Structure formats: C-alpha cells, structure tokens
Amino acid sequence: MTSIRLLDSSLVVKCGGQHIIREAMAIMYIRQQTSIPVPTVHWCFQDGRTSYLVMDRVKGRSLDTCLSEIPDQHLKNVVSQLAGFIQQLRKLGSRKTMGSWPSGPYDNVLFDPPPLREFHGMQEFQAYWIYRLGTLMGLPEIPSALREVGEKHDVVLAHGDLAPRNIMVDDGEITGIIDWETLGWYPDFWELMMAAKGSSLSSKWKTELSMVFGQQPHFSDQYERVLFDVFFRQWT
C-alpha cells in the first residue's frame, strides 16, 4: 500500500514497497535525459519491507482538481507541453517487449496481479487483460473488442498513467509530472488513452487532446472500457 505524507511545506515522503525504489530511479533518469519537469529526489531508502522516497513538493495543483475552471488558453498550453513531453519520452528508444522500465515485467498498481514476464507482442498483452476480466466476471463482448486492437503497434517508453491527477499545473504551465512508478514500455496508443480515461473528465480536456493528438482509433475507446471494467470491479 502506497501513501504520501507532507514532511513540511516543501518536502513530501512517499512510502510503499520495492516499486518506490524503481520510481526514484525513474525520476532521476527522466530528469537526466529530458526537460520534463519532475520532483527533485533528495533521499530514497528501505527500512525492512518498506521503501521511502523523500522529494520536493511540486508547485501548483493537480490538473484534475482545476479542469472545470482552467482558462481555455491555459489548457491549450498544458496540452501542447504534454505533447512535447510525450515525444521526448518516445525519443528515448523503443523495444520489442512490453514491461516496466528499465526491464522486467510490469510491476505497478495497474498490473495486479503482476505478469510473470515481459509481454512479447500484443497477443500476450491482450491475453493478460482477458485473464484479468475472467477472474472478475464473464464479459463475452470484451475479447472481441480487444482483438480489434491488432498486432501492429510500436512499443514506446511512456509514463504509463498520464492522467490529469498526475499532471501538476500553475498559471497555464505544467510544473511537474508525478507518480513515475508506472514508467515502462507500452503499446503506442496507451499513453494518450490513459490521459483521456474516465467519463467524469471535462469534455474540453478530451476535445483539446484530440485537437493536438488527433482522433483516437475506435478500439482505443473499447480498450478504455475494458480497463474501467477491470479497475472498477477490482477496487469496489
């Protein structure tokens, strides 16, 4: 179980399992290799089975808390910056297998239970989600929806959960991208799908995303419903 606590007005500590160590490494890697704004890591250590990550508190508010009030031009600026950050991540390379950064199977909150190994192609990636659904309840329409995704997708480096709650903003500028424990190698449609995921999000957010990134393929909406079914049924 991961928790975050304020140490003072400028520092936070994130506590959790082994994945906290990998998140600290990911943040430092992204800081070194890109201009993406990330928290400054001050200290990372383990005490027994618990890992601790001490880092700067990022200025601003998470985008999900201010989508309803953010001016249109500010939102345009945020999406434009986000597009540049995604491109920077993709320029860090691609690979044939899908899994966590820097290597190994996915090991984060999105993939629970974690896969036993990296996925070699979309067929294995989709089989995992079909299995996840099957352990919750029978949804016969889902496998056919997943098959529409197809096999021809690049595997790219991505944040993995680039939802508005993980985007910190202030006065129309992105001040930080947080929660890097999900950094890994994903199908090329994953990053934007996660950014737009959730029917409760502001329609102007989704509209602005489509203006910059283009309309997402039909199967992306179907895959989003698959993930919603998995997460909703598992976490409620």
Instruction: Write down the mean pLDDT value for the chain.
Output: 87
What pLDDT, on the 0 to 100 scale, is given for residue 197? 74
What pLDDT, on the 0 to 100 scale, is given for residue 230? 67
CA 159 to chain centre: 5
Are 98 and 186 a contacting pair, CB within 8 Å? yes
What is the Cα–Cα distance from 122 to 105, expressed in whole angstroms? 14
Instruction: Give the closest residue to 11 by CA, choosing from 47, 44, 57.
Output: 57
SS3 14: strand
pLDDT beyond 60 at 146? yes
Cβ–Cβ contacts within 10 Å for residue 116, how many? 7
Are 211 and 203 a contacting pair, CB within 8 Å? no
- Confidence bin at 151 (pLDDT 50/70/90): low
Cβ–Cβ contacts within 10 Å for residue 12, how many? 17
CATH class of the structural domain 60-235: alpha beta
Instruction: Give the closest residue to 151 by CA, choosing from 213, 96, 221.
Output: 96
What is the Cα–Cα distance from 204 to 101, expressed in whole angstroms? 32
* 173-227 pLDDT, tens digit each: 999 999 999 999 999 989 988 888 765 667 889 889 988 888 766 666 666 766 7
Tell me which H or E stretch contains 25. Answer: helix 19-33
What pLDDT, on the 0 to 100 scale, is given for residue 214? 80
What residue spans define the domains of the chain?
1-57, 60-235
Considering the domain delimited by 1-57, tell me its CATH architecture. Answer: 2-Layer Sandwich (3.30)
- Residue 98 carries which DSSP code? B
